[in-house]
Amino acid sequence: MTQMGDSYDFTLAAATLRSNSSDVHLLLKALCDELADTLGDRLKIQRGSGRFHRSETISSVQIAMANDSFEAAIEGSTVRCTIGHVSGSIRIRSESVDMDAWIVRLLKALQAEAAHSDAARQALENIVIGGTT
């Protein structure tokens, strides 16, 4: 990463993302909007459904990057976040983490991918430096 450097403080970035969007629905929507083009089918979004139509409100997100699986499920006003390690499409372990740790680990995985992907680099810069909606 040339512009951001390897020493960028992802903890600060996670805190900034959380403070800019105190509503977990908006936070996940902003992350998904930024990552959709970069991750393609590795990003799976489940949306809630209303009585007569499908809602645009995100109820859960699954992101596959390298050997990790990032999952965030909205339960009321809170988010249940887990990170799983996968080997050969088999989940070896899974750990529950808070939202800030989930974001930090997701950004670090995106940083590793950005080393060989311009799209990932651009998404990471938009999320960390600015440009998310």
Three-class DSSP category at 55: strand
Residue 128 DSSP one-character state: H
User: What is the distance between the alpha carbons of residues 70 and 3, in angstroms, rounded to a whole number?
Assistant: 26
Task: Give me the residue spans of the domains in the chain.
Answer: 10-128
Instruction: Name the residue type at position 59.
Output: S
**pLDDT value at 6 more than 80:** no
Q: What are φ and ψ of residue 23, in 5° steps?
A: -85, 120
Q: Would you say 68 and 106 are in contact if contact means Cβ atoms under 8 Å apart?
A: no
Structure tokens at 131: 């440009």
pTM: 0.75
pLDDT in tens, 14-58: 555 555 555 777 788 888 888 888 889 999 999 876 666 667 788
- The amino acid present at 42, given as its one-letter code, is R
